[in-house]
Structure 1
C-alpha cells in the first residue's frame, strides 16, 4: 500500500546529501538485530560506496507495519525482499550491491534469484538457503506472539557469539542484545514465518551475480555446512570461512569481513548503474563488463592510484597491450580480488617476493601500494628487516634504499 512505512535506513559514505553518485551497497541485518551490527565494517566499505543499512520490520526503528500483514504465517521472504526494493526505489537506486547476514543474506539471495537485474553483486554472511525444520520457526513465532521477546533474548548470546566474545564484555554485544529486547514481537514473529517458509536450495543455480559466501567457523545457527552448500550450488561463488566467529561474524571479526567484502565488491564495481546510468560509462575503454578485467582495473586503481594506472595506460602500445591486459585480468582481477587474504597481507607477501627477486622498480611501485592498503612505514620496515634473514642482507639493503627514496618522494608530494 502507498501509505505503508519504508524500512528505516542510514546512509554512510562521502555523499551526505543529494543524489547518490557512488556505487550503492545495501546491507541487510540478521533477525533480532539492528543495522548497528555493521558498525565496524561500514567505514571500510564507505570509502568506495554509498552504504545503505536498514532495519528489518519490527526491528530497530522500522515499524512492523512496514509489512503487508502481521497475521500468523502470512509473511514470506518475497515480502521482505519487496520492502528492500521499495526502499531502493524510493532512493532512486536501480541496481545495487547487496550483502546480508542470516535472514538479511537470505533476502539478498532471493533478490539475486528473482530480481537479478537489480543485484550487481551478492555477499551472503552466515546465512543459508534453508534454515532447518519449518516447525522450529513456527513454534518460535507462536512463542514470541504469546510470551514476548524475553525468552528469545535470554538465549541469543549463545547463538550469536562465541563464548570468548560473549565473555569479553564488548559493548557491541550488549547493545545488540538490547536491540533484540526492544524488538516488536509482531515484526519478529513475522520474520520467523518468513524463515519457516524459506527453501531456495533448488534455485541457487539461477544466480548470475558475482557471489561471496562467508561462514563463521563456530556458527551453530547456520553451520559452515550451510555456507558450503550455498557456495557449491551458486555458479562461481567464492567461500570464506572465518575463524573464531559464530553467527554474527561481522561483529566478532569485522576487519576480516570488511576486507573480504571490499575485495569482492571490486568484481562488480563497474556493474552497478545508478538510475539511468550504466556500467559502460564508468568502465575503462574496451573493457568487457562483468569480466576479471573490470574487477582487476578497480583493484589496480585502488592499490596503485589513478595517476600510476593512467600513466601505464597512456604508455601502452600495440606491442605491450596484451601484456597489460594479462596483468589487469590475472594478477589484479583473479588474485588480488580473492577474499582469502586482505590487501594488507597481500602487500606484505608481494613486498617480500619482490625483495627476494631483486625487482626494485616494482618494489617502489608496491611500496606506495602497501601504504595505500593500510600498512604503516614502521610495518614496512619490519617486513624489510625480516627479508634480510630469509632473502639476504644485500637484497634487504637495496630494498631499504628504495623504501627511503619512496618515503622521501611521498613527503615531498604531501608538502607540495
Structure 2
C-alpha cells in the first residue's frame, strides 16, 4: 500500500475540515502562523508534499522523471481526506499546493466547500525550466536551490529573519527525488482551460512583490474562476503566509467563515480596512478581539468596510472628508484621531483637513470644531506632518 502523506491535525474533531497545502520546497510549517487561529473553528489538516517534511517520496506511485502530475498529487490528497473521514473540506494551498486545490475544485467539486489559492497560478511558466530544475536537483541535490531561495521566496527585509531561515532549511532537507518529481508536476501543470469549471467560492491571494507567481498570475486565476475574489498584499513575496501572516490569516478567517451569499465582502472589507487604517492599527484591533467583541469586529469589516467603503460612487478622499465631519459632529475624538491618520493615508493634506474642520465649525458648532482642531494638531505633531 502506498504510504499516506505525512500530516498534522489541529482543532476539534467534529469541526468542518480545512486542508492546508504547502508550496514546493517547504513543509507544513509554512502555515504555522495561521494554523492555531484557524483550528479554533476548523479541523485543520496540514500535509507535506512527497519528499518534503515528513512525507516519504515513496508516497508517489511513480517518482520517475516526468511521471508526477498535479492530478496525481490531488489523488494523494483525496486519499488522505478519505482516510481521515473528511468527505467535504475547505482547501487553501500555496503555489503548487494551490494548483492541487484548483485541480480538485475543477474535477471533484463535490468535495470542496471553499477554496483559497495563495501565491499560485494556473500555469507556472516555461515547462522546460522546471524540467531543467528537476534534472539539476536529481544530479546535485537541493543545496544549490536553497542558496538562492530567499530571493525567490521573500522580500529583502524578510529574507534574513529566523522564520525565513527555517523555511529555507526545509528546502535543504527535502529529498531530491521527491522535490524533482514535484518540479515535474509543475512543468506539466496548465489549468487555464479548466478554471471555468471551478464553482466553489474562491479567494485568490497574491503577493505584490512575488517574482515566482507575480500578481498577473493571480489576476488570471481570479478572471478565470467565476466566483473568485482577488486580494493583493503589499510587502509580500512568494510565501505570503510567512511574510504577512496576519493579513493572510484575516483573509482566510473571513473566507472560510463566510456564509453563503457573503460575496467576498469580508475579504474585500479587510483589504480596504488595512489600506485606509494601516496594517499596524488593524493588527492591534485583531489581537484585542475577544469572544465578546468578535461579532462586532466581523460586522465592522463586512458592513462598514466591505459594503460601504468599497462602493464605487465616492473616492476615498471624499469618504474621509465625510467621516471626519460626522465624527466631529458627534464628538467622537478617539475615532477622529484614527480617521485623521486615515485621511492623510487617503491623500488629504493638512491644509485639506484644516478646511474640513473650518467647514464643520459652521455646521457642527464652534466648540466641536475647537476640540477637533486640538485633536488634529496632536495627530499632525505625532505623525510629523507639517500643519501649514
The TM-score, its normalising length taken from structure 1, stands at 0.68
* 1:7-22 correspondence to structure 2 within 5 Å: 7-13=5-11, 15=12, 20-22=13-15
* 1:177-192 correspondence to structure 2 within 5 Å: 177-192=168-183
Distance 1:383 1:263 in 2: 24
1:251-289 deviations in Å (ceiling 9; x for gaps): 11111111011111123x5xxxxxxxxxxxxxxxxxxxx
Distance 2:55 2:34 in 1: 21
SS in structure 1 opposite 2:33? coil
- Please say if 1:246 is aligned against 2:237: yes
Distance 1:332 1:263, change over 3 A: farther
RMSD of aligned alpha carbons: 3.5
Distance 1:308 1:179 in 2: 35
Q: Is the 8 Å Cα contact of residues 265 and 307 (structure 2) preserved in structure 1?
A: no
* 1:15-414 correspondence to structure 2 within 5 Å: 15=12, 20-166=13-159, 169-267=160-258, 269=259, 290-292=260-262, 331=303, 335=307, 355=327, 358=330, 382-383=334-335
Distance 1:332 1:152, change over 3 A: same
- Please list every run of 5 or more consecutive structure 2 residues that lacks an aligned counterpart in the other structure: 270-285, 311-322, 341-352, 372-388
Distance 2:291 2:151 in 1: 44
Distance 1:11 1:385, change over 3 A: same
Q: Is the 8 Å Cα contact of residues 17 and 45 (structure 2) preserved in structure 1?
A: yes
Distance 1:304 1:256, change over 3 A: closer
SS in structure 2 opposite 1:157? helix
Distance 1:251 1:37 in 2: 6
Shift of 1:236: 2.5
Q: Is the 8 Å Cα contact of residues 328 and 336 (structure 2) preserved in structure 1?
A: no
2:4 aligned residue: 6
Distance 1:41 1:306, change over 3 A: closer
Q: Is the 8 Å Cα contact of residues 97 and 119 (structure 1) preserved in structure 2?
A: yes
1:404 aligned residue: none
Shift of 1:294: 12
Distance 1:117 1:352, change over 3 A: farther
Distance 1:113 1:211 in 2: 12
Distance 1:308 1:62, change over 3 A: closer
Distance 1:385 1:334, change over 3 A: closer
Distance 1:333 1:234 in 2: 24
Q: Is the 8 Å Cα contact of residues 30 and 167 (structure 2) preserved in structure 1?
A: yes
Distance 1:293 1:38 in 2: 25
Distance 2:305 2:17 in 1: 21
The TM-score, its normalising length taken from structure 2, stands at 0.72
1:310-337 deviations in Å (ceiling 9; x for gaps): xxxxxxxxxxxxxxxxx99x8499639x
Distance 1:109 1:294, change over 3 A: closer
Shift of 1:133: 1.0
> How many equivalent pairs are there?
316
